[in-house]
Amino acid sequence: MRSLILSLIAVAVLACGAAAQTQPTQYVAYIGPEDLYNSNGARLSAPWQVLRQDRANYHRFGIRHAGDEWDPLFHDMNNRAAMERMIQQGYISPVAAQDIMRGGATVVVRIYSGFGANDRIEVDVWR
């Protein structure tokens, strides 16, 4: 009986983890010219840097474009730093990466989980 209860608990825990992975946090943002440069004015060289700067501009500097949405995670500077790793562990197509680096793109960012070892971010672009 005890092993049956432990098995049921294990299945429930795994199911909760799987559910968390299928219900991402999501936001939409427009990548404007300000998002292509860091706070010192240097041009950024990777799409995850641009996405991080976009969230810093939104939350810290109040630079917001039409279409930018609030997100519950990236108001925190440490979470913005983790964003780069999460994008590298997630997915961004080469075409989407190019669109982000050009600016003028609208991105849909999906965040899976809560900043652990298996976390990832997936990015799609609308033009």
Per-residue pLDDT of the chain (127 residues; tens, 9 = 90+): 544 333 334 434 444 444 444 578 999 999 999 999 999 999 999 999 999 999 999 999 999 999 999 999 999 999 999 998 888 888 899 999 999 999 999 999 999 876 566 788 999 998 7
> Could you tell me how far CA 71 lies from the centroid of its own chain?
9
Question: Could you tell me the residue range of the domain that residue 107 belongs to?
Answer: 24-126
- Number of domain units in the chain: 1
In a domain, 15, yes or no: no
42 belongs to a structural domain:
yes
Amino acid sitting at position 88: Q
Structural domain contains residue 10: no
Helices (H), the chain: 2-22, 47-59, 77-89, 94-102
Reading the block at residue 25, the tokens are: 């946090």
